[in-house]
Amino acid sequence: MVNSTTRAFGSPFRYIQGPDEFNNLAEYASQYGTKLFVLIDGFLFDELSARLADIFADSDCQVVCETFGGECSEAEVQRVTSLVRSAGANIIAGVGGGKTLDTAKLVAANESMPTFILPTSASTDAPTSSLSVVYNEKGEHLYSKSHKRGSDLILVDTKIIAKAPVRLFAAGIGDALSTYYEARANAQSDTANYIGKGYRRTLAAMAIAEKCRDILFENGVRAVNDIKAGALTEAVENVIEANILLSGLGFENTGCAGAHSVHTGIHEIPGTNKYFHGEMVAFGIVFQLVLENDREDELDEVLDLLTTVGLPVTLKQIGVDPTPENIAIIADRICDGNSGVEAEPFLINYDTVYNALISADAIGREWLGEE
């Protein structure tokens, strides 16, 4: 529980979303500086760097492109920081997935320069947050870094987002759907949010988290079907906003809880790294609702949405054999005091977590019609 009545809310400076917005990057960059350094995911580098050369051809702002090394590690941050200094850049942009974007944020913090974030999928809310997650060279989580300010611009080209694999889009729904349930838990326990040293959440933050949930229930299934059909519709635009903006603002300004703790625990099981963050969090929502002994109709509503859009609701679906040994490993990690589950508004111990994992998996299997 927080020891102050002070409330706080944080956000990026600008959020712009729409089809072909990538083509306006030179216009936006020229408002901030004269040389933009762009860090791009490797598999997108050739296509997007060539496109950027055309976009900046007649601009007063120059562009320098570099391939992301593949891991948001201290070594990669140092490498990119050196390249930014050598190039004489005064703005940095990250283009790609969460690790690319987090690296750009860290370099910007090192150099005290404006940051542009351009996600290429709607798979998580990482683009909007002022956090970076740092890993070692093997991809093992080391720590999270909270930045003193949000990014200057989140630029979301929905044509690019809509062309990403539908599995990524669905994973973003899993991540975003957890926002409301975790916000509710944090509000009930009055746990500090992630703004600065941590404050009480604002009414605006809670309203954003609730709206995020509502959009996903109203538009989630239709949006996934539209993505599969290759259609960029209003439903798709709504879910992109929920996955990236509303979820990002919601979690940072309210806090995570049981659902994200499962993601942390599952990473202790070898072979689970091939599953996306939002896929693990999807099962985590089921776990949290079981842990909280929530209403059957609310749990059914969540299970229906998750399974309809193709998200996991059992441990097996995220690469975990539900043996007592594996469940114990996950429960141990969840209960280590730093997973997020401690934000739940009641006493948490190993036995309650272990049994909630067993129950959530059994409920998921029953929902799928499995024995």
- Domain coordinates in residue numbering, the chain: 15-163, 166-367
Annotated catalytic residue, options 41, 152, 226, 260 = 260
- pLDDT-derived band at 371, boundaries 50, 70, 90: low
Per the annotation, the verdict on 260 as an active-site residue is yes
Q: What is the CATH code of the structural domain delimited by 15-163?
A: 3.40.50.1970
pLDDT at 217: 98
Annotated catalytic residue, options 175, 226, 267, 361 = 175
- pLDDT-derived band at 33, boundaries 50, 70, 90: very high
Per the annotation, the verdict on 141 as an active-site residue is no
For the cut 80, the answer to whether the pLDDT of residue 140 exceeds it is no
Nearest CA to 139 among 38, 40, 270, 259?
Answer: 270
CA distances (Å), origin 84, targets 22, 92, 112, 274: 21, 8, 12, 31
Q: Is pTM, for the whole model, over 0.85?
A: yes
- pLDDT-derived band at 136, boundaries 50, 70, 90: confident
Q: What is the pLDDT of residues 162-207, one digit of tens each?
A: 999 999 999 999 999 999 999 999 999 999 999 999 999 999 999 9
- Residue 176 contacts residue 125 (beta carbons within 8 Å): yes
The phi and psi torsions of 195 (rounded to 5 degrees) equal: -90, 120
132 sits in which H/E element? strand 131-135
- Residue 201 contacts residue 253 (beta carbons within 8 Å): yes
Q: Which CATH class is domain 166-367?
A: mainly alpha
Mean pLDDT score of the chain, rounded to an integer? Answer: 96
* Measured distance CA(57)–CA(52) in Å, rounded: 8
Per the annotation, the verdict on 277 as an active-site residue is yes
Q: What is the pLDDT of residues 207-263, one digit of tens each?
A: 999 999 999 999 999 999 999 999 999 999 999 999 999 999 999 999 999 999 999
- The token duo for 134 is 């740092």
Annotated catalytic residue, options 125, 226, 277, 361 = 277
Matching residue, tokens 């005091």: 337
pLDDT at 346: 96
Q: What percent of the chain has pLDDT over 70?
A: 100
Per the annotation, the verdict on 267 as an active-site residue is no
Q: What is the pLDDT of residues 42-56, one digit of tens each?
A: 989 999 999 999 999
CA distances (Å), origin 59, targets 6, 50, 53, 66, 93: 45, 15, 10, 19, 16
